[in-house]
């Protein structure tokens, strides 16, 4: 068994059947993505639209693709075409742009709202207090379906309180999905109720390049 397949088996054993594994494939070559698919991965996460576009053309229909990075307005059209879900919507303006392109392309786009639970670290994500008003606006967009919340906790701190806060927010709004947990903290995220975890390094090993999200 390859390292990639063994890593996936070990992670899936810890996730059980109720948590969806998203294999984060940023900077990973198509051949190694194919190994992950052979080992049973069905959803890949990418954080850059351009990189994903090239890769999806090569790996294509064998995987479903989720967008997990920061999305710029001028990339929304491609994102709506390429991805099955966008995890990182952090403004009503971005949701409106997604709605516009989803309408033109004749689809409905499931999205998650990225929340900056801690108020520190990441410069992306909505403030928790802005969520109710944003949801009210987004619910008026017929081609955008808000399915849940996503967060990236600040580095170097215990993630548990941030995951717990995200779950409380999700519960308060009656949404189904919680995208939280990466390689170093996914077990805690699962304990706190994650429905999707996003794991790169734990499957593919250390990335050679550590580029900022676009
Ligand atoms: C890169 C990335 C991940 C995966 O991180 P690992 O530590 O390699 O598991 C998860 N979520 C987002 C948003 C990312 O950009």
Find residue 111's DSSP bridge partners. Answer: 86, 146
Cα–Cα separations (whole angstroms), residue 91 to 32, 73, 86, 103, 114: 34, 11, 13, 18, 9
Q: What is the pLDDT of residue 214?
A: 43
Provide the token pair at 213. Answer: 């999200």
Alpha-carbon gap, residue 198 to 196, rounded angstroms = 7
**CA 182 – ligand 1 centroid, Å:** 6
Q: What is the pLDDT of residue 131?
A: 97
Find residue 64's DSSP bridge partners. Answer: 43
Per-residue 3-state assignment (H helix, E strand, C coil) for the chain: CCHHHHHHHHHHHHHCCCCEEEEECCCCCHHHHHHHHHCCCCEEEECCHHHHHHHHHHHHHHCEEEECCCCCHHHHHHHHHHCCEEEEECCHHHHHHHHHHHHHHCCCEEEEEEECCCCCCCCCCECHHHHHHHHHHHCCCCCEEEEEEECCCCCCCCCHHHHHHHHHHHHHCCCCEEECCCCCCHHHHHHCCCCEEEECHHHHCCCCCCCCCC
* Residue pLDDT, tens place only, 114-139: 999 988 766 789 999 999 999 999 99
Q: What is the pLDDT of residue 208?
A: 77
* Candidate of 24, 149, 178 to mutate for ligand 1, largest count of ligand atoms within 8 Å of Cβ: 24
Q: What is the pLDDT of residue 213?
A: 45
Instruction: Label residue 121 left, alpha or beta by phi (over 0 means left) and psi (-120 to 50 means alpha).
Output: left
**CA 25 – ligand 1 centroid, Å:** 9
* Closest CA to ligand 1's atom 12: 68
* Candidate of 15, 32, 47 to mutate for ligand 1, largest count of ligand atoms within 8 Å of Cβ: 47
**CA 156 – ligand 1 centroid, Å:** 15
Q: What is the pLDDT of residue 121?
A: 65
Rg (CA), the chain: 16
Residue 212 near residue 205, CB atoms below 8 Å: no
Alpha-carbon gap, residue 155 to 146, rounded angstroms = 27
**CA 180 – ligand 1 centroid, Å:** 10
Q: What is the pLDDT of residue 2?
A: 83
Low-confidence ranges of the chain (pLDDT < 50): 213-214
**CA 106 – ligand 1 centroid, Å:** 30
* Residue pLDDT, tens place only, 140-163: 999 999 999 999 999 889 999 999
Q: pTM for this structure? A: 0.95
Most distant CA pair in the chain: distance in Å?
50
Q: Centre a 10 Å sphere on the Cβ of residue 208 and count the other Cβ atoms it contains.
A: 7
Alpha-carbon gap, residue 142 to 95, rounded angstroms = 11
Residues with CB under 6 A from ligand 1: 24, 26, 47, 68-69, 152, 182-183, 198-202, 213
């Amino acid at each position: 068994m390859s390292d990639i397949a063994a890593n996936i088996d070990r992670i899936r054993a810890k996730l059980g059947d109720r948590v969806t594994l998203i294999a984060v494939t940023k900077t990973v070559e198509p051949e190694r993505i194919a190994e992950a698919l052979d080992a049973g991965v069905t959803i890949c996460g990418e954080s850059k639209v351009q990189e994903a576009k090239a890769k999806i053309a090569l790996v294509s229909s064998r995987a479903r693709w989720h967008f997990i990075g920061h999305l710029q307005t001028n990339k929304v059209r491609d994102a709506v075409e390429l991805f099955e879900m966008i995890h990182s919507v952090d403004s009503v303006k971005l949701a409106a742009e997604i709605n516009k392109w989803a309408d033109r392309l004749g689809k409905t786009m499931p999205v998650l709202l990225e929340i900056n639970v801690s108020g520190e670290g990441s410069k992306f994500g909505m403030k928790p207090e802005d969520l109710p008003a944003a949801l009210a606006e987004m619910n008026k967009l017929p081609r955008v379906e808000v399915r849940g919340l996503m967060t990236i906790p600040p580095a170097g701190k215990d993630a548990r309180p941030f995951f717990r806060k995200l779950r409380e927010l999700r519960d308060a709004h009656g949404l189904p999905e919680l995208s939280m947990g990466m390689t170093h903290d996914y077990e805690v995220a699962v304990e706190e109720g994650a429905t999707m975890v996003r794991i790169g390094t734990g499957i593919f090993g250390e990335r050679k390049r550590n580029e900022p999200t676009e």
